[in-house]
């Protein structure tokens, strides 16, 4: 499957939910486009799993675009299954999910979204990010361009100012673009005494 498109599913809570009886599975190695819109009760999208050796499958290695809009209950795009959470907790170093071909992220009106994935995300080919109305989201993927290339991030200024960064170099990989209608809050007062 190259495209996963889910639209106008008012009662769906999960697109894919692994049960304990489903056992060991392989994710979506050929997926290039993930699009979800108007799924107000959706909580998660695609769960991530590890193989028997504890390494991540090449489950999202072809993913180029993530577009998710108007899914009010969404808390996480790529949740970890129970076995994967246990594996991550045992690691001494932070575990990184590599998305080598990811170029575009568009997230709109997802007020409950806490993170794209619990893991640290690496997206070396990321080109554009557009995020609006995702006030609970606090982290962006690590780009690692080293200043050679800057990712444009179209977002609200207040959200940008509240982001959490691993270090200053990570922040320099992004160029925030705020609405031209954004105005600084002016002090209110009166000229009359």
Give the model confidence (pLDDT) of 3-17 as tens digits.
999 999 999 998 876
Average pLDDT over residues 86-91: 86
Average pLDDT over residues 17-22: 54
Residue 131: predicted pLDDT: 98
pLDDT in tens, 131-147: 999 999 999 999 976 55
Q: What is the mean pLDDT of the chain?
A: 86
**How far is CA 6 from each of CA 33, 35, 36, 161, rounded to the nearest angstrom?**
11, 6, 5, 32
Residue 22: predicted pLDDT: 47
DSSP class per residue in 55-73: -B-STTTT--EEEEES-TT
How far apart CA 105 and CA 68 sit, in angstroms, is 8
pLDDT in tens, 37-46: 999 999 999 8
Average pLDDT over residues 61-65: 95
Residue 58: predicted pLDDT: 65
Residue 192: predicted pLDDT: 64
Residue 57: predicted pLDDT: 54
**How far is CA 144 from each of CA 93, 113, 134, 189, rounded to the nearest angstrom?**
18, 24, 23, 46
Residue 21: predicted pLDDT: 42
How far apart CA 5 and CA 110 sit, in angstroms, is 17
How far apart CA 132 and CA 142 sit, in angstroms, is 19
């Amino acid at each position: 499957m190259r495209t996963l498109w889910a639209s106008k599913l008012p009662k769906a809570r999960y697109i894919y939910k692994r049960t304990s009886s489903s056992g060991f599975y392989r994710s979506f190695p050929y997926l290039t486009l993930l699009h979800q819109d108007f799924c107000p009760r959706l909580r998660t999208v695609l769960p991530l799993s590890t193989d028997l050796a504890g390494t991540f499958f090449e489950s999202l290695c072809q993913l180029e675009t993530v577009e998710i809009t108007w899914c009010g209950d969404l808390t996480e795009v790529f949740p970890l299954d129970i076995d994967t959470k246990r594996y991550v907790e045992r690691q001494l170093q932070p575990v990184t999910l590599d998305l080598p071909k990811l170029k575009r992220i568009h997230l709109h009106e997802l007020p409950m979204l806490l993170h794209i994935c619990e893991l640290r995300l690496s997206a070396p080919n990321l080109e554009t990010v557009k995020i609006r109305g995702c006030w609970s989201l606090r982290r962006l993927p690590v780009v690692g361009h080293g200043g050679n290339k800057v990712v444009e991030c179209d977002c609200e200024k207040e959200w940008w100012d509240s982001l959490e960064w691993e270090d200053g170099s990570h922040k320099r990989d992004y160029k925030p673009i705020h609405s031209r209608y954004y105005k600084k809050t002016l002090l209110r007062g009166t000229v009359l005494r």
